Amino acid sequence: MTIREKDNTFVASTYGRFPVELVEGKGALIKDSDGKEYIDLSSGIAVNTFGIADTEWVNAVTAQLGTLQHTSNLYYTKPCADLAELLCTKTGMKKVFFSNSGAEANECAIKAARKYSFDKYGEGRYYIITLKNSFHGRTITTLSATGQDSFHTIFNPFTEGFLYAEPNFESVKELAEKYPVCAVMFEVVQGEGGVLPLDKSFVSSLAEYAKEKDILLVADEVQTGNGRTGMLYGYMNYGITPDIVTTAKGLGGGLPIGATMLGEKVEKTYTPGSHGSTFGGNPVCAAGALSVLSRIDENLLAEVRRKSEYIIKELSPFVKSITGMGLMLGLETEKDAKTVINECIEKGVLVISAKTKVRLLPPLSITDEQLEKAIKILKEVISK
């Protein structure tokens, strides 16, 4: 059996894979089983922040791997404590809960929001407003949080207590006045929904209103976090301070980690026994994340913004629209996105889709030369 046949036979059929078997790589370059090389503009969906097999990251991870791979959360370990400290120092948040994925980071945020409200106001004030077209994960509760009807079928019953607003202030306010709401959860740039940034005035009105009503602001930064948008976290582009920030994908640089950052209001919400995770804060994943996070500095962020401007300038004449921020961009092309993606793969560039768009998520460390080459190929594909 070929690997593709074996996978199709034995791996649960939840994914529509491209006909490519990836084997190895370095930075933004990745090779398939035929030895064909691609420039990777997808980063494993915004995960490989510094690309494939980044030397510093590999060293940090392997050093930890050979020292202590796991304990349990019954004991203290240094990488976990160091990572929590770094996340708090860089964001001003107060505490961090570690898990293993974006969905789990959001589950933790949802539980924290409900517990905050329960502790302060008693039962019943449990509604959470999310936005239409959002994506928050694949567990039953985060599917419920996801503001797309197409995700709310088959697996009934879903977790109750979510309300879906249009991405404008009036719509959120209307729901918040009608129901006892404890939180509003949102992505500042809707990733899976089509790389759509929220309006700045909407976000600032929302932040002001939420503060006044003691409604918690939960920023889902699973995709937008960790430098992706040209700021350390996407909300920093909006001048707001969320009460809870969730992240995952790019934080681990390729290892599974989720983080739920808890701000001042909710820093004391969790008490021993009220939440937990066996693998959460795993020393190897934490060491990888420390390596990633410690290198997302002002220099790197300026580079992300510069590369973003370059892509927008180069591709604008060839597309109907470009949306997004930093190195998280969505292209609306004349040609159908699927065709563009397949032709790009054919020509040695990996891009993915987001709804009807072509989505670009290159490693933040992609070199100018690699980026130029990839953009040239993209141009050829979309203009023909």
The residues of the shown chain that bind ligand PLP, judged by CB under 6 A, are 101-103, 106, 135-137, 187, 191-192, 220, 222-223, 248-249
Which lies closer to ligand PLP via its Cβ, residue 335 or residue 355?
Answer: 355
Which residues are registered as beta bridge partners of 159? Answer: none
CA 102 to chain centre: 7
Which lies closer to ligand PLP via its Cβ, residue 164 or residue 370?
Answer: 164
Quote the longest CA-to-CA distance of the chain. 62
Q: Phi and psi of 359, rounded to 5°?
A: -110, 135
**Least gap, CB of 106 to ligand PLP (angstroms):** 6
CA dihedral of residues 314, 317, 322, 327 (deg, nearest 10): 0
**Least gap, CB of 258 to ligand PLP (angstroms):** 7
**Least gap, CB of 220 to ligand PLP (angstroms):** 5
3-state class of 99 per DSSP? Answer: strand
Which lies closer to ligand PLP via its Cβ, residue 246 or residue 365?
Answer: 246
**Least gap, CB of 63 to ligand PLP (angstroms):** 25
**Least gap, CB of 329 to ligand PLP (angstroms):** 15
What are the C-alpha distances in Å from 191 to residues 39, 178, 211, 308? 21, 29, 26, 16
d(CA 2, CA 8) in angstroms, rounded, equals 10
**Least gap, CB of 127 to ligand PLP (angstroms):** 20
Q: Which residue is nearest to ligand PLP (CB)?
A: 102
Which residues are registered as beta bridge partners of 332? Answer: 321
Which lies closer to ligand PLP via its Cβ, residue 42 or residue 370?
Answer: 42
d(CA 330, CA 10) in angstroms, rounded, equals 33
**Least gap, CB of 136 to ligand PLP (angstroms):** 5
Which lies closer to ligand PLP via its Cβ, residue 244 or residue 375?
Answer: 244
Q: Which amino acid, residue 114?
A: R
Which lies closer to ligand PLP via its Cβ, residue 246 or residue 291?
Answer: 246
**Least gap, CB of 379 to ligand PLP (angstroms):** 27
Task: Give the DSSP H/E element, type plus range, for residue 7.
Answer: helix 3-10
Distance linking the first and last C-alpha atoms of the chain = 37
**Least gap, CB of 107 to ligand PLP (angstroms):** 9
Which lies closer to ligand PLP via its Cβ, residue 113 or residue 382?
Answer: 113
CA dihedral of residues 213, 200, 218, 232 (deg, nearest 10): -140
- Residue 239: Cβ-neighbour burial (10 angstroms; 0-12, 13-18, 19+): exposed
From 13, 7, 59, select the one nearest 287 (Cα to Cα): 59
Tell me the HSE value of 312 on the side-chain side, using a 13 A CA sphere: 16
Which residues are registered as beta bridge partners of 354? Answer: 357
d(CA 220, CA 241) in angstroms, rounded, equals 13
Torsional sign, CA 201, 352, 137, 158: positive
Which lies closer to ligand PLP via its Cβ, residue 45 or residue 68?
Answer: 45
Which lies closer to ligand PLP via its Cβ, residue 220 or residue 343?
Answer: 220
Which lies closer to ligand PLP via its Cβ, residue 260 or residue 365?
Answer: 260
**Least gap, CB of 227 to ligand PLP (angstroms):** 15
d(CA 80, CA 47) in angstroms, rounded, equals 19
